[in-house]
Structure 1
Amino acid sequence: MSGSLTRLNINLLAQEGQDLTVDSTVFIPDDNFSDIWNNLFNCSVLGLGGFLERFRFAIDFGYDRDIFYFGSL
């Protein structure tokens, strides 16, 4: 798949506590691959390298809801 890597800020909005802005590297597929990308990956994908490694996070898989905890390094 062809595309480009782009730097941008991603804002994580907190329901409790403080929001967090993460300076991130993201992959943007070329236009001619957008239909293929949407069909193959019809879900959200968070990259470890370039995004998740830039802050602390934890996931609590609960009974009635999952909780995503995050904070700055």
Structure 2
Amino acid sequence: MSNPLPPGAPELATPVPSPCISLCKMNRDTGYCEGCLRTIDEIIAWSKADDAYKRGVWAEIRRREQLIDFGHDQ
């Protein structure tokens, strides 16, 4: 049986899965969790949010991934 979702695209699933990877540490400079790249407000709202909201958060996470320097070049 094939997976109908492209690899690495959890935001397309229904229900939309949480991006949490159990590395919960808020970064003071960015305001994002270092594990999932969500803001504290996004984390708090997640459990009661609908899939449209969650997909919007995933879109923001994807954008943030492109903008943040993770320090891998050091």
Q: TM-score, normalised by structure 1?
A: 0.26
Q: TM-score, normalised by structure 2?
A: 0.26
More helix by share: 2
Structure 1 or 2, whichever has the larger Rg, is 1
